């Protein structure tokens, strides 16, 4: 660890394995940034409880699934700290202290909370769910992170985090770092069915853990330009999901594919085949690493335990300082 390097903190709820949307939206950036920043990657199992408290075994299994997803795409456990949220005492403590500085109304008006509550069908949400942005503030600040790579849905949470940090620093004379969001360079990846969001509940996702045959099958079933009922009719790439995928995963050939679609010199079947090949080519190295870690789960466990130990050392030291500034001492 190089103390002059800026620190990144980000992570995922452990509520299921990750898909290509996660990859282009955040994992890819994390892998690119891991050499430049001191990186902390959080397996958010406590936050997972806010929506999945009735299914703890899903959360438990997902800790391994997500950790292996991370390792398979190339996060290097020698240089990044992958850790488990529930193991970090500092996060729990800070959550309590921060909760004094946020009003219930502020949380209620958080647009991401509102959308998620609606999606989950909560008409009377729990205190834990309403308050998860406070706990997320603790995730980010326990190690004084500078930068938080996230999707745009997380921006309200980062804004709240910055507010809490400013208030805390003002009140207690501390120097908690006010973090900045770092937005993904890639637009949101739509689902294969044309739905704006790729998601497990929607059944329209390609998982990082999918084998080549599943990828072929899923891509074959993707929705294209529905007006293009025959190969002879020119297509409209602007309204085609497969085309959007080409743009992201096959940028070299994208222009050419668009022209061929528009002049009907390529059909949807062939176009999908090209995409599936491209995706499988990208995913092949992931699969090799995955196969190794699937067979060495103990190693995965050791990586996460070592990461949690390191995060705890940093967190304990930080919280001790903060408590002293708050006069929570005897």
| Among the listed residues 7, 13, 17, 228, the single contact to ligand TRP using CB under 6 A | 13
Q: Which is nearer to ligand TRP, 157 or 246 (CB)?
A: 157
Contact 312, 84 (CB under 8 A): no
Query: Cα(21)–Cα(69) distance, rounded to whole angstroms?
Result: 13
Q: Which is nearer to ligand TRP, 139 or 225 (CB)?
A: 139
Q: Which stretch binds ligand TRP (CB under 6 A): 119-127, 148-156, 266-274, 308-316?
A: 148-156
Chain centre to alpha carbon of residue 8: 13
Is 303 an interacting residue with respect to ligand TRP (CB under 6 A)? no
Decide: residue 242, CB within 10 A, 0-12 exposed, 13-18 middle, 19+ buried: buried
Query: Cα(291)–Cα(238) distance, rounded to whole angstroms?
Result: 37
Q: Which is nearer to ligand TRP, 12 or 225 (CB)?
A: 12
Lay out the site mask for ligand TRP across 26-65 (x = CB under 6 A, - = otherwise): ----------------x-x--x------------------
Q: Which is nearer to ligand TRP, 73 or 150 (CB)?
A: 150
Q: Considering only CA atoms, which of 290, 292, 301, 318 is closest in space to residue 18? A: 290
| Among the listed residues 94, 140, 176, 300, the single contact to ligand TRP using CB under 6 A | 140
Q: Which stretch binds ligand TRP (CB under 6 A): 3-11, 250-258, 266-274, 311-319?
A: 3-11
Q: Which stretch binds ligand TRP (CB under 6 A): 8-16, 63-71, 197-205, 277-285?
A: 8-16
207: DSSP letter: B
Query: Cα(315)–Cα(85) distance, rounded to whole angstroms?
Result: 12
CB of 42 to ligand TRP, least distance (A): 5
Is 139 an interacting residue with respect to ligand TRP (CB under 6 A)? yes
| Entry field: residues in the chain | 330
Q: Which helix (H) or strand (E) holds 177?
A: none
Query: Cα(319)–Cα(304) distance, rounded to whole angstroms?
Result: 22
Query: Cα(186)–Cα(205) distance, rounded to whole angstroms?
Result: 17
State both tokens at 310. Answer: 């390191």
Residues 149-168 that bind ligand TRP (CB under 6 A): 150, 154
- Count of residues touching ligand TRP (by CB under 6 A): 14
The footprint of ligand TRP (CB under 6 A) covers: 9-13, 42, 44, 47, 136, 139-140, 148, 150, 154
């Amino acid at each position: 660890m190089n103390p002059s390097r800026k620190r990144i903190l980000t992570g995922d709820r452990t509520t299921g394995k990750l898909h290509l949307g996660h990859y282009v939206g955040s994992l890819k950036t994390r892998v690119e940034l891991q050499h430049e920043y001191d990186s902390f990657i959080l397996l958010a199992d406590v936050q997972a409880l806010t929506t999945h408290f009735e299914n703890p075994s899903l959360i438990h299994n997902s800790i391994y699934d997500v950790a292996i997803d991370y390792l398979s795409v190339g996060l290097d456990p020698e240089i990044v700290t992958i850790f488990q949220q529930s193991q970090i005492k500092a996060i729990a403590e800070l959550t309590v202290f921060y909760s004094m500085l946020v009003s219930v109304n502020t949380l209620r008006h958080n647009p991401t909370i509102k959308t998620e509550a609606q999606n989950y069908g909560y008409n009377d949400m729990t205190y834990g769910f309403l308050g998860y942005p406070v706990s997320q503030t603790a995730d980010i600040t326990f190690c004084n992170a500078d930068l938080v790579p996230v999707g745009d849905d997380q921006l309200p949470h980062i804004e709240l985090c910055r507010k809490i940090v400013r208030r805390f620093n003002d009140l207690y004379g501390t120097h908690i770092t006010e973090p900045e969001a770092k937005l993904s360079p890639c637009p949101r990846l739509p689902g294969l069915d044309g739905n704006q969001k790729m998601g497990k509940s929607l059944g329209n996702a390609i998982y990082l853990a999918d084998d080549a045959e599943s990828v072929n099958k899923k891509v074959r079933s993707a929705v294209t330009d529905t007006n293009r009922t025959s190969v002879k009719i020119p297509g409209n790439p602007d309204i085609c999901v497969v085309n959007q995928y080409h743009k992201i995963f096959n940028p070299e050939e994208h222009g050419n594919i668009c022209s061929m679609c528009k002049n009907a010199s390529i059909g949807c079947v062939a176009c999908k085949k090209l995409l599936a090949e491209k995706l499988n080519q990208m995913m092949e190295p992931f699969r090799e690493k995955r196969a190794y870690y699937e067979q060495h789960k103990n190693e995965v466990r050791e990586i996460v335990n070592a990461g949690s130990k390191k995060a705890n050392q940093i967190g304990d030291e930080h919280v001790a300082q903060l408590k002293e500034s708050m006069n929570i001492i005897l």
